[in-house]
Amino acid sequence: MPDLVTLGPWLRRFLCEYIVTERNLARNTRSSYRDTFSLLLPFVSRKLRKPVDRLAVCDLTSRLVLQFLAHLEEGRGCSARTRNQRLAAIRAFARFIGSRDPAHVEWCGHIRAIASKKSMSPPVGWLTRAEMEAMLAVPDRKTRRGRSEYALLLFLYNTGARVSEATQLKVRDLRIGRGNGGHDLAALHGKGGKPRQCPLWPETERVLADEILGRSVDDAVFVSRLGTPFTRFGVYRLIERCAARVPELTDRTITPHVIRHTTACHLVLAGVDINTIRAWLGHVSISTTNIYAEIDLTQKANGVRVTIENGASPATIAAVIGALKAGS
């Protein structure tokens, strides 16, 4: 079967060349794309009773793609957001083929015409200051392992780093121990390798300085009890274990991203402007950061509600509303 017809060569070029060198997509995005086709190809193969290596581009019909998306939701229990992520990968692949082979333009159009499913954005989950402090109090700082876990948790809370940014942090990325009045900083490498710098609190600087003592500049900052760099799954397990020890967090799912949200929400409540928070978190678009502005509005609305419930006079209520408007 000619290469222009067989699905395999197109997929190899897409996954190994296009999204890596031409698009320079983030590592997690590339992994997501690969996972999509790891699920899609066996599904299509079973439906057509045809070996994966014999599948042609035209075998990947819009009807089969829709069946695959339904299988994700109904058979695998995936959310609409996950379904849309898988569809985005398939659309990108179709666009890749259609832009390089005119014979497949019509096929590309059919695939790209598949609509995304409307999904509600989940509410921003975050911890109060007391809950975050309770999490930080869980590791036993009398032991070496406990101090390392505390350093990782504190770093995540201080910087709002993504879990991948924390696990990839090297000793050379830290600018600490400056006694000349300079700021202690951590250089993070975000999506697509985009760098940014985050200031470190004195406490964070202190525990990190102890953590990297005797390490070379190319060593990872956060290592497990086995002496190997923390993995993203190791960070997830650490946070789940610490959250399980906090009674207030019972029945709540706490992840590294919840701590990232916590950092952003605490910055908002501290009066930090939204543009600074965008730079702090490494968001490309401020529209992504604007979800945290709702936290401040919610706090203000709760303030008005509590004032009313406490039986304040109309003059007091008017004064509170005026003060809140002035602070908006």
Residue 183 annotated among the catalytic residues of the structure = no
Which of 83, 104, 162, 278 is catalytic? The answer is 162
Residue 191 annotated among the catalytic residues of the structure = yes
Residue with tokens 């699920």: 39
Residue 162 annotated among the catalytic residues of the structure = yes
Which of 30, 110, 112, 257 is catalytic? The answer is 257
Which of 34, 191, 206, 300 is catalytic? The answer is 191
Tokens for 79?
A: 């959310």
Residue with tokens 């760098």: 195
**Distance between CA atoms of residues 3 and 296, nearest Å:** 56
Tokens for 174?
A: 């830290």
Tokens for 11?
A: 């997929």
H or E segment at 189?
strand 185-189
Residue 269, Cβ density class (10 Å: 0-12 exposed, 13-18 middle, ≥19 buried): middle
Tokens for 147?
A: 């101090």
Which of 260, 261, 266, 278 is catalytic? The answer is 260
Residue 104 annotated among the catalytic residues of the structure = no
DSSP-assigned letter for residue 139: S
Alpha-carbon distance values, 15 to 9, 18, 23, 26, 290 (Å): 10, 6, 11, 12, 33
Residue 13 annotated among the catalytic residues of the structure = no
Annotated catalytic residues are 162, 191, 257, 260, 283, 292
